């Protein structure tokens, strides 16, 4: 592609089943482009090949671009607590993108923009990250706690501490009354 040329539009056959308020921001063919599928970034999340649903930006723990490969790590819910989820890293998925265009930039920008608050804390048995994420079309923040690898996720002392940490973080990030 030349300096001022644009990537062609996403072929209709590769277009995911977008919601009424969803729009394509960027896309890239996966692998050699011979039927391996496409990755589509929308304003609401990321559509990966072989999935019939999008992963919301707030549900991506990590996205790494190597210059040729995009690796995404979605969150997996361990337990639902009162007002937040305890999550761990799901299996990382790596995709070779030969003509990535704007896709890596959009993925990085959207994942980063979704983070409103993040802080690492020591907890019983290890450490955990408390995070608040913005979800497109949803008022307020969605809260998660992600214990670091090796930290037990089902320990009652850990869960009591994460309840406390999320409460403190919510209070610290709540808008001031006018």
Q: Do 118 and 87 contact (CB within 8 A), yes or no?
A: no
Total residues found in the chain within this entry: 178
The Cα 70–Cα 97 span in angstroms is 7
What pLDDT is stored for residue 3 in this prediction? 53
Q: What is the pLDDT of residues 49-97, one digit of tens each?
A: 988 899 999 999 999 999 999 999 999 999 999 999 999 999 999 999 9
Angle at the Cα of 78 from the Cα atoms of 86 and 66, rounded to 5 degrees: 80
- Rounded to 10 degrees, the C-alpha dihedral 154/155/161/163 comes to 30
Cα-to-chain-centroid distance, residue 3: 30
Give the three-class secondary structure for 174: coil
Q: What is the pLDDT of residues 128-178, one digit of tens each?
A: 999 999 998 888 999 999 999 999 998 999 999 999 999 999 999 888 764
2 has a pLDDT exceeding 60: no
First vs last Cα of the chain: how many Å apart? Answer: 53
Beta-ladder partners of 38 = 29
Beta-ladder partners of 96 = 69
The Cα 156–Cα 178 span in angstroms is 38
The Cα 116–Cα 124 span in angstroms is 25
pTM here is: 0.88
The Cα 106–Cα 112 span in angstroms is 10
115 has a pLDDT exceeding 90: yes
């Amino acid at each position: 592609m030349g300096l001022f040329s644009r990537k062609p539009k996403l072929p209709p056959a590769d277009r995911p089943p977008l919601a009424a308020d969803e729009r394509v921001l960027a896309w890239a063919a996966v692998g050699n482009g011979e039927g391996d599928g496409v990755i589509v970034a929308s304003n609401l999340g990321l559509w990966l090949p072989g999935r019939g649903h999008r992963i919301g930006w707030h549900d991506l723990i990590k996205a790494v671009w190597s210059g040729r490969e995009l690796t995404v790590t979605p969150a997996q819910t361990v337990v639902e607590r009162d007002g937040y989820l305890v999550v761990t890293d799901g299996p990382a998925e790596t995709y070779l993108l030969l003509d990535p265009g704007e896709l890596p930039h959009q993925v990085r920008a959207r994942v980063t923009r979704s983070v409103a608050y993040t802080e690492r804390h020591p907890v019983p048995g290890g450490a955990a990250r408390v995070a608040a994420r913005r979800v497109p079309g949803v008022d307020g923040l969605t809260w998660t706690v992600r214990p670091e690898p090796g930290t037990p996720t089902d320990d009652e002392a850990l869960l009591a501490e994460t309840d406390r940490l999320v409460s403190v973080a919510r209070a610290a990030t709540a808008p001031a009354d006018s």
